[in-house]
Chains A and B, each alone.
Chain A
Amino acid sequence: MLTCKEMVARSSDYLDGELTLGGRLLARQHLLFCRNCRRFIKQMRLAQAAVRALPEAPVPDADALAKDLAAQRRAQDKR
């Protein structure tokens, strides 16, 4: 049986599907019996989703960069 501390230490591997089959079974078994760790995993998933959902900072000068790159691309064909 895993301890909660061990469960937390493996939580990222659990979320990424990086545990071995045996490791996965141990984790599932722990989660089945441990409410605290179930909550922890649920909140880790929420934390992942929050990082994903953060708005993207706009690229400074994206228009100028795009204009420059497009011009370089067109110039290339003339060479």
Chain B
Amino acid sequence: MTGTHETEFLERLLAGEQQAFKELVDTYQSAMRAVAYAIVGSRQADEAVQDAWLAVVRSLPGFQRRSSLKTWLLTITANAAKNRYKQNRREVLLDDLPSPHGSIGDDRFAADGHWRVAPFAWHEDTPEALLSEDELRQCLEHTLLSLPQFQSSVLILRERQGLELEEICNLLEISLSNVRVLLHRARLKVFATLEHFEETGQC
């Protein structure tokens, strides 16, 4: 959303138009939840998003448009979440958890670094074709839910929300190298899930 369209949209929000708020919620709530989830975890994420929405309404008249609407909303969300967290998240940041279908680990490679079990051809080569199988879609959703908090948020913000790595660093206050590690781990688990499904035809 840019330019005149955004100006018009902001005017509708400032006028308190319900339909405009509905669009705002539908468009940005999941990105806001991903940010909150990374910072406070699942138990407080919804409350943090609620806090953020209230802050958004309060701050709307002062929105200067120095950043995009999306960046502004996500920054408010990160601040709302930071006001809530008490746990020491630095410790949980790089903790990993097993994924239902594993990852691409060292056992896939021979001692000389070549593939021991090479990737094989998949049946489908478009996302639409892959996701047309209900079972695969559910399987993928299950893997995403199994990801540790930070991996899940970083993956959603990058792949689904299209944020730059730099933006993710700033919002979550983690280093670029950590963002890269988290993203890579999450992607390999998604890869392993798809590969498993292509191989066995089941989750």
Contacts and interface: CB of A to CB of B under 8 A. Distances in A.
Interface string A67-78: 101111110110
Nearest to A74: B16
A72 B25 contact: no
Given A12-B180, A36-B115, A51-B190, A46 B127 contact: yes
B21 A59 contact: no
B113 A46 contact: no
Contacts of B195: 43
A52 B140 CA distance: 12
Nearest to A18: B180
A73 B14 contact: yes
Chain B interface main SS type: helix
Interface of B: 13-22, 24-26, 29-30, 53-54, 56-58, 60-61, 104, 106, 108-109, 112-115, 118-119, 121-122, 125-128, 130-131, 137, 140-141, 144, 155, 159-160, 165, 180, 183-184, 187, 190-191, 194-195
B144 A51 contact: yes
A44 B187 contact: yes
B119 A40 contact: yes
A13 B179 CA distance: 11
Contacts of A4: 109, 113-115
Contacts of B14: 73
B152 to A, nearest CB: 11
B122 A46 contact: yes
B130 A3 contact: no
Contact of A73 (B13, B109, B180): B13
Interface of A: 3-6, 8-9, 11-13, 16, 18, 36-37, 39-40, 43-44, 46-57, 59, 62-63, 65-67, 69-74, 76-77
A69 B187 contact: no
Contacts of A77: 16
Contacts of A5: 106, 109, 113-114
A16 B184 CA distance: 10
A72 B141 CA distance: 35
Given A11-B184, A44-B187, A51-B190, A39 B113 contact: no
Nearest to B121: A39
A73 B16 contact: yes
Given A11-B184, A51-B144, A52-B127, A69 B53 contact: yes
